């Protein structure tokens, strides 16, 4: 149990950021070796503490909300920041769900014996110390810390300044859970300041932190990628596509396109561009775009699309590269699956892309040639989610190619080591 200076709204200083990262580093080896049952007990006790501290958490959140309103925050940000009894309960359930997941640490990923008798095993171990830098949503404090804890990682959290009071109250519940389970509360640290320079200080600590995960808007993620001396697991844009092939079941295509765009427009798996095969008859195209227009979605397309419905507005070249995260959709007409693949690989963000077709060959070609973390056939892009994949909670969808690609859940927050057992072997 480390004694650190109490942090205040007035902010921390360089030494305090380093001291907190160092405390996490010091606490990590014991956490790496902690039995599954103890980690799970800490998570369940933290869930209990969240419920027990609900009124304190909501009072802290009211402070954050008042401050945000005073500084002129708008609706969407306020909604992300707001907590109520249901959202606190959802956080508690989230911790329990993570406790119920299998423990990845210690899993033997592969093992073999060499001709000289050496027995080699590749064994999952924690990544180490994970820093998470996030924006308004205070529930990330609980989710991210819990995923790290489950995988045996210490966590250094840096919340948005908007949610500082809420995050501090949630942290108290996490610490209570750790202590109840006999684990060191120092394994979860919060850089509790509103000083933006502390982010840069954190990103310089490559001797103490193993990986940094930014969660938030493009500005945050690009800043972290540019400044960090620590490897970054980044979740960049989801400029996702649905391509409706000439051989598609049109009713299925309409259902998938509607869901991919409008189920939730603000998630990274939302469709941002709809590609229609030129072979589709106009009535088929109309059957796909009309429900979207009728539901209030703005469509932007070329002359062919406009001819389908006068409500389709003109598309600009920048639209193909835009993640709207809103009820806006670019519509392109392409010459078959080859042109669709080319469009997706050029304009997409290598996140999640889907083909709708009854032609198995076209489907297999799209699945093989589209270079994205998730490729789907006859399914909505909104399935791009660790929960929907059956992987449990996630910290985001990685769009990089190294280490973790796609949903970053508990398993993706681990690495491995080689354990070699011999009987005196030396190398010739």
Instruction: Return the range that interacts with its own copies (CB under 8 A); candidates 56-64, 179-187, 236-244, 252-260.
Output: 252-260
Q: How far is residue 275's CA from residue 291's CA, in Å, rounded to a whole number?
A: 16
SS3 133: strand
What single string gives the DSSP state of each residue in 100-144?
A: HSPP-TT-EEEEEE-TTS-EEEEEEEE--EEEEEE-S-THHHHHH
Shortest Cβ distance from residue 214 to its own copies (Å)?
15
H or E segment to which residue 298 belongs = strand 298-301
Q: Is 133 in the site for its own copies (CB under 8 A)?
A: no
Instruction: Return the range that interacts with its own copies (CB under 8 A); candidates 70-78, 120-128, 169-177, 237-245.
Output: 120-128
The binder of its own copies chosen from 37, 50, 249, 347 (CB under 8 A): 249
Phi-psi region of 336 (alpha: psi -120 to 50; beta: other; left: phi over 0): left
Residue 309 has which token pair? 């419905």
Determine how β-strand 119-126 pairs with β-strand 108-113. Answer: antiparallel
Shortest Cβ distance from residue 340 to its own copies (Å)?
15
Residue with tokens 């979207």: 292
Residue with tokens 């039995």: 35
The binder of its own copies chosen from 273, 382, 394, 410 (CB under 8 A): 382
The binder of its own copies chosen from 181, 190, 373, 395 (CB under 8 A): 373
* Cα angle: 153, vertex 188, 172; to 5 degrees: 145
In this complex, which beta carbon is closest to its own copies, that of residue 231 or of residue 336?
231
SS3 69: helix
Residue 213 has which token pair? 């995960």
Binding mask 193-232 for its own copies (x = CB under 8 A): -----------------xx-------------------x-
Q: Is 426 in the site for its own copies (CB under 8 A)?
A: yes
Q: Is 375 in the site for its own copies (CB under 8 A)?
A: yes
Q: Is 291 in the site for its own copies (CB under 8 A)?
A: no
Phi, psi of 363 (to 5 degrees): -60, -50
In this complex, which beta carbon is closest to its own copies, that of residue 38 or of residue 114?
114
Residue with tokens 């490897």: 231
Residues that bind its own copies in the complex, under the rule CB under 8 A: 29, 32-33, 112, 114, 118, 120, 125, 127-128, 210-211, 231, 233, 249, 252, 255-256, 258-260, 263, 345, 363, 367-369, 371-380, 382-383, 385, 388-390, 400-403, 405-406, 415-427
């Amino acid at each position: 149990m480390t004694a650190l200076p109490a942090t205040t709204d007035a902010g921390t200083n360089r030494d305090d950021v380093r001291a907190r990262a160092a405390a996490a580093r010091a606490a990590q080896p014991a956490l790496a070796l902690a039995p599954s049952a103890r980690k799970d007990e800490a998570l369940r006790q933290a869930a209990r503490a969240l419920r027990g501290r609900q009124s304190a958490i909501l009072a802290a959140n009211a402070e954050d909300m008042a401050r945000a309103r005073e500084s002129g925050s708008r609706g969407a940000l306020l909604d992300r920041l707001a907590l109520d009894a249901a959202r606190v309960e959802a956080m508690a359930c989230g911790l329990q769900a993570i406790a119920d997941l299998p423990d990845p640490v210690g899993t033997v990923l592969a093992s073999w014996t060499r001709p000289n008798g050496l027995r080699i095993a590749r064994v999952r171990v924690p990544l180490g110390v994970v820093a998470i830098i996030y924006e308004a949503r205070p529930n990330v404090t609980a989710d991210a810390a819990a995923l790290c804890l489950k995988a045996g990682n210490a966590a250094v959290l840096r919340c948005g300044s908007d949610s500082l009071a809420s995050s501090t109250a949630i942290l108290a519940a996490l610490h209570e859970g750790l202590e109840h389970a006999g684990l060191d509360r120092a394994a979860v640290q919060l850089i509790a300041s509103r000083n933006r320079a502390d982010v840069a200080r954190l990103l310089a600590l490559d001797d103490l932190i193993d990986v940094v995960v930014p969660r938030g808007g493009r500005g945050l993620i690009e800043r972290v990628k540019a400044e960090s001396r620590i490897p970054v697991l980044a979740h960049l844009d989801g400029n996702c596509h649905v391509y409706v092939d000439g051989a598609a079941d049109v009713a299925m295509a309409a259902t998938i396109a509607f869901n991919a765009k409008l189920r939730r427009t603000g998630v990274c798996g939302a469709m941002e561009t709809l590609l229609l095969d030129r072979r589709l008859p106009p009535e088929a195209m109309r059957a796909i775009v009309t429900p979207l227009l009728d539901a209030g979605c703005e469509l932007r397309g070329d002359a062919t699309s406009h001819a389908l419905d006068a409500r389709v507005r003109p598309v600009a070249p920048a639209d193909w590269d835009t993640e709207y995260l809103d009820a806006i959709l670019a519509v392109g007409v392409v010459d078959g699956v080859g042109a669709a693949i080319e469009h997706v690989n050029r304009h997409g963000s290598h996140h999640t892309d889907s083909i709708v077709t009854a032609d198995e060959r076209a489907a297999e070609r799209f699945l093989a040639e589209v270079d994205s973390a998730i490729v789907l056939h006859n399914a909505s892009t909104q399935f791009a989610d660790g929960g929907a994949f059956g992987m449990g909670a996630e910290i985001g969808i990685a769009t990089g190619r190294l280490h973790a690609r796609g949903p970053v859940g508990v398993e993706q927050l681990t690495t491995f080591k080689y354990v070699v057992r011999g009987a005196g072997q030396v190398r010739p």
